[in-house]
Every structure is written in structure tokens, then in C-alpha cells.
Structure 1
Amino acid sequence: MTFSIQYIDDEKIEKDYKKAISELGNFFELNWEFNKPRIFLVKNRVTIDKILGKKTEDWVVGFVNKADVYMLDRENYEKESCHKFSEEEYSKTIKHELAHSFFQVISGFKNKPDWLWEGMAIYLSDQDETKNKPKEFSEFLDYYEKSGPGVYKESGFVVKLLVEKFGKQKILELIKSLMSINSKKEFQDKFKAVYGFELNYGNINEQLDRV
């Protein structure tokens, strides 16, 4: 399978990239100097499907491969996806995908549970600002192995709650522990060890009520 690529000098993307790398580095406490993530702009849905080796849904506009980021080119953003284009949202999507790159590095390239994987990227890219905050959480725990558009509904707000109520060090400890976690049960045990309570809707919603 053959793909054609070329280097481009895009000042806007480069500016967004540098800003995101700096801010994410501060959060994750990672000074990324060598083999930094690269951004590959993909022209169309067909090419995304070929790269991933499967048919993708029209809401998929970015993904990571190891540390590198693949983004649907903004020129075809609306034509090749179900999303409306804006420069602000595109910048947030770049940061979202780069957050995945940082997550990969500190987790030992683990990306489960999916709610934590996506929730971190949503929170750190401020994409939760355009979503309706749930009055209570009732869905995010369905997304451990499973992924899908539903994971974006609550996960960013769950991560925001955990970071703002308990501090970032606990969630960084949790993410770093993923490299030695091999099951949902092991993750639940680690979550309880870090936060002092079991991971369930009742306990999370109780924390939400106290904010």
C-alpha cells in the first residue's frame, strides 16, 4: 500500500503545535525534546480508512500512531466529516490529538480505559467548554475497552472533576500505572488506591455534588 507525502510550511498549525506542546509538557511534566510528535495532514476519508485499515465513521477527524498525529486536512474538513469547521475548533483538535501522544508516552503506550484516554484529551484541549455539563454521570464507565462517539459526552467532565478536586498528581499517577495494568479489575483497584474510593457512578456523582 502506497501513500504520497510532502512537507508543508503551515504557520498556523506550527503555532498551534508549539503552544500545545508547551502547555501539555507543563501538565504532564514531560520535557519532550527528541523524536517529538509529527503532524500528518490527511486529505480525505478514503486515505484515513487506508491508513487505519478499516472503514471509519464520519466523526473521526484525527488519530495517533505511536506519538505521531494524523489530522483530516482543514481544506476538506466539512466535506469529509460531519463536523463544522472553525479555526478555533481545529486548533483544539490538534491539541486533543497531541494530548494523546503525551498520554501514550507516560502510560507506556496504553490507552485503556477509553474514558480516561479521551477524557484527558478533551479536558486538556478545553473541548468540554462547548459541551453541556451533565447533571450526573451515567455512561462513561461503559467505555473501558469499548470506544465510540458516546465516550465524548461525559469523560472530559469526569477528568476535569478528578483534576480540579484532587489535583493533577493523582491522575498522573493513575495514568503512569497503566503500563503495569492488564485488566479492568486491576485498574479499578488502582483507582481506589489512588483516590481512596471505589470507581462507580454513586461515588463519582457524590464528588460532583460537592463541587
Structure 2
Amino acid sequence: MRCSFFLLGIMLLIFLSACMGHKTDGDLPLIKETDHARFYSPDVNADKEKAVTKLAEAFEAHYIRIVKLFQLDSTDKTIVHVYTNKADFQKMIGRNTEGTYVASENIIKVYTPESLNTPGVEDAFTDQIVHEFVHAVIQQINPDIGKTKWLDEGIAYYTSNQLQKELQARSLFLDIPTLEQLASPDYFNLEGGEAYFYSGLIIQYIVDKYGEDTLNEIIRNPEQNQFERIMQTTIDKFYEEWKGDLQKNQ
């Protein structure tokens, strides 16, 4: 009899767990679930729910395109943590950023204002969730991609369409970074948006001239010797070709 009660208790716990589903992630309550993602946030209110809904809509609008582009085969839902206190978010992350993909946890973490009612603000933060999802996809394919900053950030900036939007507002390319600058993580810390812009331009050049399959091969083999094998040229010659093309078309 005692054994029967024990088994009944176990079955009840399993049933309750199944009914609860993914209502929390750690201490964060579930705010929004879509076909391909779950969005969690520390606080729940009407404005935040609207903001998270906009992020979720942007995520879903680009999901199929991105996973097809990078040939990712995954049935797992993407986990996103959304924070609306910028100071607390940056303290938790440990650096001055508004979004990151934490590879060790397989979680996208972003700061987003509670209200995204201003069009410019909405565009910036919906673009950001797409940008971070690109990081999540390519780093799941190959975690080593994160070691090559210009490649990792350039792919995210290009694929999220942030580059295309910036190109609509500018056509002059001044202060083109050197190859040494691009290879240095400090370049991104010092130059910020310019570093993302030029890295994105390199990815656009690769896709336009060599194709998406070549970009996918580079993602899976990002080491310099492999890059040179795939491109059939040295990194120095590739850089000079890209720079020349950029200057010719401005």
C-alpha cells in the first residue's frame, strides 16, 4: 500500500510538471511563447508585454530566413531573456552592451525599453533581437566563430539587415579600417558602430562575389588558413580586393 501511494505521488508530480510547461526560466516568468522561441522577463506589466510581443514578432519574421541561410537544423526553441533596467542589465552582463548571446547558457539576453512606441526606437531594438539570434545560430554551428570578431559581428550586422538600413543613409566610406584593426577586438571597443559597419560590408562583399555557400563554409572553417583555402587567396590580398571594390563604388 505504501508503495502504491509513493508511485501515485511520483505520477502526480510528473503530471503537474507537464501541465506547468515552461512557465519560468530560473526566476524569470514566461512572457511570450512563439513557434520558435520563449521570451522571459523579470517583471510583467502591460507595456513590457507589448514590447516583448514586438520583439517576438520581429524574431519570427526572420526566423525561417536565417535558419535556412545558415543551414541550421534544430527543433529546440530559442530562449530569450528581456530586461528593461539598463544599468542592472549591464551590471549582470559585465560590459557596456544592450544585447548578447551567452553561448555557455544558449540564451539570448537583451535590454529593451519598456515602451517601443517610437518608430526609431522600435526599429533599433527589434533589429537587435534579430542580430543576437544570428549570433546564436552561427555560434551553435561553430562556437569558434566568436573568436573572429569581424566575422562574427559582420555576419550578424549583415544578416539582420542593419547594414542595408545604414547604407541607405550613407555612401561615403571614410576611415576604412586596416586589416590589423579588423583583427583586433579593441577596434570594436574603440570605434563602436563603425566597426560593425565595415565588418558587415566585408560579409556583403563575400556573399555578393562568392555566394552564400562560401559564407557557410567559412562559418564552419573560420581559421585563417582555412579562410585562405576557401577563398583561394591570402587574407592580405582578399582585404585589398575588398577595399578596392569599396573605394571604386563610393
Shorter-chain TM-score bucket reads: 0.7 to 0.9
1:154 maps to: 198
Task: Determine if the alignment matches structure 1 residue 38 to structure 2 residue 79.
Answer: yes
Superposed counterparts of 1:176-191, under 5 Å: 176-178=220-222, 187-191=223-227
Residue 135 of structure 1 and its aligned partner are, at CA, apart by 3.7
Larger radius of gyration between Structure 1 and Structure 2: 2
Q: 1:63, CA displacement in angstroms?
A: 0.5
What aligned pairs does 1:76-115 form with structure 2 within 5 A after superposition?
85-115=120-150
Report the TM-score when normalising by structure 1: 0.78
The letter of the residue matching 1:104 is Q
Give the corresponding residue for 2:219: 175
Number of residue pairs matched by the alignment = 190
Identify the residue that residue 240 of structure 2 maps to in structure 1.
202
User: What whole-Å deviation, never above 9, does each CA across 1:18-39 have from its counterpart, x for those lacking one?
Assistant: 22221111110113212x3211
Mapped to 1, the partners of 2:63 and 2:136 lie a distance apart of 10
Structure with more of its chain in strand, by fraction? 2
More helix, by proportion? 2
Structure 2 portions without partners, runs of 5+: 1-25, 33-51
**Aligned equivalent of 2:22:** none
Higher relative contact order, structure no. (Cα contacts within 8 Å, ≥ 6 residues apart): 1
Q: What is the RMSD of the two structures over their aligned residues, measured on CA atoms?
A: 2.6
Q: CA deviation at 1:4?
A: 4.7
Q: Identify unmatched segments of 5+ residues in structure 1.
A: 78-83, 179-186
Report runs of 4+ in structure 1 exceeding 6 Å deviation.
Answer: none
Task: Indicate conservation of the 8 Å contact 2:99/2:110, yes or no.
Answer: yes
Separation (CA, whole Å) in 2 of partners of 1:160 and 1:88 = 21
> Could you tell which deviates more after superposition, 160-169 or 7-16?
7-16
User: Percent identity, aligned pairs only?
Assistant: 20
Cα separation, 2, equivalents of 1:158 and 1:62: 22
- Among 176, 188, 193, the alignment partner of 1:138 is 176
Kept in 1, the 8 Å contact 2:112–2:125? The answer is no
